[in-house]
């Protein structure tokens, strides 16, 4: 399923719960913001869901401090306020999905479990083809005993027990009904509310990497499980692109349309800034260039929006277990003036790549009326991308 989402699969939303404070972990900040392998714990889940082709969008449930720290959300993601309890937080997310049809699928996930994998997502979505709800579970490997005070009691039959994980998957209408009918009933997860409706919940194999961050010592466990302790190397790529200015075309630079007398000529929308940045990221990955992946000879890319190319490059970084540390663009143009649009361009690039705004630099210069740019015949962009990649 991760290669391409089935055409008959309903829309899939994610509810990502990141509203807790994680007091038991003993950190100086919410545990979802603690760094794991160089990026916040919350970002692991957010990146995994954003990179999965079947996911149509999501709701991040988090307070303002977390939202500020995490940066802009991926495309088609929105936010919702957390409630006093988990059940209220999910309810707020469901309200944010009011426009979604009941037949859509929804995955509810705790951000404290950063190890969500495409394989688990696929197994849950496959289960929803024939069930109304599904959860990932793991067998219980240890001997279990009843315990009163400090004394061990009788052995509990572990063969009928399982460890429940998230994400948990539901048909959206079923989850709405379960929460609507819960009233004052409390539950530690959504599957319990659904079972109270008399609806069977399918179990699919879970993943040890979905270990939950509860205590400080869990960080070491997660680091080992997720390979977050591996050595990372810095990789730098450079990109350059130029397009001719022509009358009668819209002008796209940095993912936004700028009002101007001329636009840029090209096979796609000719966004010179996003093309250069795409090449810079692919260059840092040693993964060819934009023409290798999106050849101009292919008619499907005629007039294509260049944010698709840049998002593809960002997803290649995530697939390699890497991250984008910084990008820097210099737009070379006599006109139009880029300064008034700089903040909008930075925000759009942050949205496309799902990275914090502080990692994006956009500058502009002229050529003092020298050369093709000085004669207003075209616009060029230079870009540099700095990545962190696992050491092979």
Average pLDDT of the segment spanning 7-24: 80
Please state which of the ranges 219-228, 256-265, 292-301 shows the lowest mean pLDDT. 219-228
Q: Which residue has the tokens 């995530």?
A: 318
Instruction: For the chain, give the mean pLDDT.
Output: 90
Contact 94, 176 (CB under 8 A): yes
59-76 pLDDT tens trace: 999 998 898 888 788 889
Q: Which CATH number does 12-225 carry?
A: 3.90.550.10
pLDDT at 252: 95
329-370 pLDDT tens trace: 999 999 999 999 999 999 999 988 888 888 999 999 999 999
In CATH terms, the superfamily for domain 232-390 is 2-C-methyl-D-erythritol 2,4-cyclodiphosphate synthase (3.30.1330.50)
DSSP letter (8 states) at residue 10? P
pLDDT at 302: 87
Examine the pLDDT at 392 and tell me if it is beyond 80: no
Question: Residue 189 has which token pair?
Answer: 């997860």
Average pLDDT of the segment spanning 267-283: 95
Question: Residue 361 has which token pair?
Answer: 């630099």
Examine the pLDDT at 26 and tell me if it is beyond 70: no
Average pLDDT of the segment spanning 80-97: 94
107-147 pLDDT tens trace: 999 999 999 999 999 999 999 999 999 999 999 888 888 88
pLDDT at 198: 95
Residues contacting residue 13 through CB under 8 Å, at least 6 positions apart: 55, 56, 57, 58, 59, 97, 100, 104, 105, 106, 107, 172
Buried-state track 244-279, b at ≥16 Cβ within 10 A, e below 16: ebeeeeebbbbbbebebebbbebbbbbbbbbbbbbb
Within 292-358, strands assigned E span 323-332
SS3 of residue 183 by DSSP: coil
Contact 51, 2 (CB under 8 A): no
Average pLDDT of the segment spanning 309-321: 86
- Domain boundaries, given as residue ranges, for the chain: 12-225, 232-390
- Sign (positive/negative) of CA torsion 34, 42, 121, 193? positive
pLDDT at 343: 95
Average pLDDT of the segment spanning 8-35: 81
Please state which of the ranges 119-123, 205-209, 317-321, 360-364 shows the lowest mean pLDDT. 317-321
For the CA atoms of 383, 389, 391, 392, what is the dihedral angle to 10 degrees? -90
Contact 256, 345 (CB under 8 A): yes
DSSP string, 55-116: --EEEEE--HHHHHHH-SPPTTEEEE---SSHHHHHHHHHHHTTTS-TTSEEEEEETT----
Question: Angle at the Cα of 217 (from 212 to 223), degrees rounded to 5?
Answer: 70
């Amino acid at each position: 399923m991760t290669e391409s989402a089935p055409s008959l699969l309903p829309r899939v939303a994610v509810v990502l719960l990141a509203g807790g404070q994680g007091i038991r972990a003993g950190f100086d900040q919410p545990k979802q913001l603690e760094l794991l392998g160089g990026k916040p714990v919350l970002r692991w889940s957010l990146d995994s869901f954003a990179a999965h082709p079947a996911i149509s969008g999501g709701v991040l449930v988090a307070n303002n401090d977390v939202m500020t720290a995490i940066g802009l959300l991926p495309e088609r993601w929105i936010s919702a306020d957390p409630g006093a309890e988990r059940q209220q937080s999910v309810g707020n997310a469901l309200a944010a999905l009011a426009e979604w049809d009941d037949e859509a699928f929804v995955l509810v996930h705790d951000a404290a479990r950063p190890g969500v994998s495409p394989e688990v997502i696929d197994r849950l979505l496959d289960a929803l083809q024939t069930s109304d709800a599904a959860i990932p579970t793991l067998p219980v490997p240890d001997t279990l005993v009843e315990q009163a005070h400090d004394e061990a009691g009788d052995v509990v039959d572990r063969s009928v027990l399982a460890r429940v994980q998230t994400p948990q998957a539901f048909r959206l209408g079923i989850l709405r009904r379960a929460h609507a009918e819960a009233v004052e009933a409390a539950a530690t997860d959504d599957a319990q509310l659904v079972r109270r409706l008399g609806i069977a919940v399918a179990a699919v194999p879970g993943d040890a990497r979905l270990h939950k961050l509860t205590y400080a010592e869990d960080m070491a466990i997660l680091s080992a499980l997720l390979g977050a302790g591996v050595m990372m190397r810095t990789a730098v790529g450079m990109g350059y692109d130029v397009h001719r200015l022509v009358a009668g075309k819209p002008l796209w630079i940095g993912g936004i349309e700028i009002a101007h007398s001329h636009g840029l000529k090209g096979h796609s929308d000719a966004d010179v800034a996003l093309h250069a940045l795409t090449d810079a990221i692919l260059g840092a990955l040693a993964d060819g260039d934009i023409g290798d992946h999106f050849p101009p000879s292919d008619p499907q890319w005629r007039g294509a929006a260049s944010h698709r190319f840049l998002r593809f490059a960002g997803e290649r970084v995530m697939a390699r277990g890497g991250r984008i540390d910084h990008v820097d663009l210099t737009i070379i143009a006599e006109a139009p003036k880029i300064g008034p649009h700089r903040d909008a361009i930075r925000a759009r690039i942050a949205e496309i790549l799902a990275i914090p705004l502080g990692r994006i630099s956009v500058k502009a210069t002229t050529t003092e009326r020298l050369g093709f740019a000085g004669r207003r015949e075209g616009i060029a962009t230079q870009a540099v991308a700095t990545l962190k990649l696992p050491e092979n």
